[in-house]
Chain A
Amino acid sequence: AQSVTQPDIHITVSEGASLELRCNYSYGATPYLFWYVQSPGQGLQLLLKYFSGDTLVQGIKGFEAEFKRSQSSFNLRKPSVHWSDAAEYFCAVGAKETSGSRLTFGEGTQLTVNP
């Protein structure tokens, strides 16, 4: 069975500082990996995805993530955080057998941005 661990429940950074959110997954083969963001009262917005190929993936809003097979990780990064980035971030994995259609999510990381 696939699983996702987001070790940090809550992270606080200052505006303009760099950000890294951790994600570790458990899956027997090459997974489909996603990062979603959720603002209060909103649904999930896709930031970026990894299916195959280049292990450094660029997404929207200046986010990027790197797939590291040896560490079973897919960490999300941003070089300079903006106040509007405050939200909850979810890492998700999809199995290739179901072509990524059944997503397993982590528990989420709540990001607070200080002015």
Chain B
Amino acid sequence: DAGVTQSPTHLIKTRGQQVTLRCSPISGHKSVSWYQQVLGQGPQFIFQYYEKEERGRGNFPDRFSARQFPNYSSELNVNALLLGDSALYLCASSAKMGGGIQYFGAGTRLSVL
């Protein structure tokens, strides 16, 4: 079975632009979480979606938004990009909302110039 897949692998944007990152969870997994990993730091929780509803949000500005589709794939949107948004964005899926193991994708590397 395929693992968590994220696209694109790399992305270069300029300040003020908008970006959409995509994630396909492991087949059968209904929960998707997003994390931001700035270079040299540990991942930070952004959002969790389960059954197409937002179930948790980390300490990120409203420029960050996400959604989950009926097939449980997910998109993360970031508006009005800042230089500080440059990071590796990781998607994780799990079979259930809680008490389960999160499986991570390889991430999308976003560079904001």
A interface list, Cβ under 8 A from B: 4, 32, 36, 41-46, 49, 51, 90, 92, 98-108
Question: Which residues of B have CB within 8 Å of A90?
Answer: 42-43
- Pair B106/A101 contact, Cβ less than 8 Å: no
What's the tally of chain B residues with a CB closer than 8 Å to chain A? 30
A41 to B33 alpha-carbon distance, docked (Å) = 19
Give 1 or 0 for each of B83-113: 1 = CB within 8 Å of chain A CB: 0000000101010111111111111000000
Cβ of A44: which chain B residues have Cβ within 8 Å of it?
43, 90, 92, 104
A42 to B103, CA, bound (A): 12
| Subset of 24 A-B contacts with CB under 8 Å | A32-B99, A42-B106, A43-B104, A43-B106, A45-B104, A46-B101, A46-B102, A46-B103, A98-B98, A99-B96, A99-B99, A100-B98, A101-B48, A101-B55, A101-B97, A101-B102, A102-B33, A102-B48, A102-B56, A102-B58, A103-B33, A103-B35, A103-B45, A105-B42
